[in-house]
Amino acid sequence: MKIVVITGSPHRHGTSALLADEFIRGAEEAGHSVTSFDAAFMKIGACLGCDKCMMSGPCCQKDDMEQIINAILQTDMIVFATPLYYYGMSTQLKAVIDRFYSKNEQIQSKHMDSVLLSTCWNSDMPSMRGLKLHYEILVEYLNLNDKGAIYGLGCRTVPMMKYTDYPQQAHKLGRSL
């Protein structure tokens, strides 16, 4: 299976990156091919809402999003990895998802699998409610097949997170595909 992992944290080696790394390790151990994009360190403009793409592309913007969208159109699974920012996904990951607009029809018709990997400072699940709902709506709208989500609660720092079982859960999820 071909898998595209999109991370959206401005912290290269933060908690959501740790989950993504463990997921990737598990998926590769299971024999899957993984391509990873670190959206926070790529040049990706916000969707302009100009509708020049007519939801079937190409986007009028010429930036790093072209690499991501081309990989998505050739993949079997999309994995979204993000820290929780103000009860939702990071701006960097949201910008990528907004730019899916230029290829909505192609993405919807693929019926790809998807996974969400997320972390947050707080230790309570209600903090993740907005992100969880957004992911569920995205899965439905894009005709994705949800293969699981990890909500890493109380993951304030990488050293603290290493005392949880969230990295092991991410590894196990990747390996189980």
Taking residue 78's Cβ as centre, other Cβ atoms within 10 Å add up to 26
Query: In the prediction, which pLDDT does 78 show?
Result: 98
Query: In the prediction, which pLDDT does 125 show?
Result: 86
Query: In the prediction, which pLDDT does 164 show?
Result: 95
Q: Cα-flanking dihedrals φ and ψ of residue 125, to 5°?
A: -65, -30
Say which residues have a Cβ less than 8 Å from residue 89's Cβ, sequence separation at least 6.
8, 80, 82, 97, 118, 131, 134
Query: In the prediction, which pLDDT does 57 show?
Result: 79
Distance CA 37, CA 21 (A): 12
Distance CA 118, CA 84 (A): 7
Query: Tokens 């990747």 correspond to what residue?
Result: 174
Query: In the prediction, which pLDDT does 85 show?
Result: 94
> Sign of dihedral through CA atoms 175, 147, 150, 65?
positive
Distance CA 175, CA 78 (A): 15
pLDDT, mean of each 10-residue run, the chain (177 residues): 97 95 98 98 95 88 96 98 96 97 94 97 90 97 97 92 94 97
C-alpha dist (Å) from residue 106 to 58, 66, 109, 129, 142: 11, 14, 5, 29, 9
Q: Can you identify the CATH homologous superfamily of domain 2-175?
A: Flavodoxin domain (3.40.50.360)
The pTM is what? 0.96
Query: In the prediction, which pLDDT does 56 show?
Result: 83
Q: What angle do CA 86, 91, 95 make, to 5 degrees?
A: 145
CB crowding 98-130: b at 16 or more within 10 Å, else e: bbbbbbbeebeebebbbbbbbbbeeeeeebbee
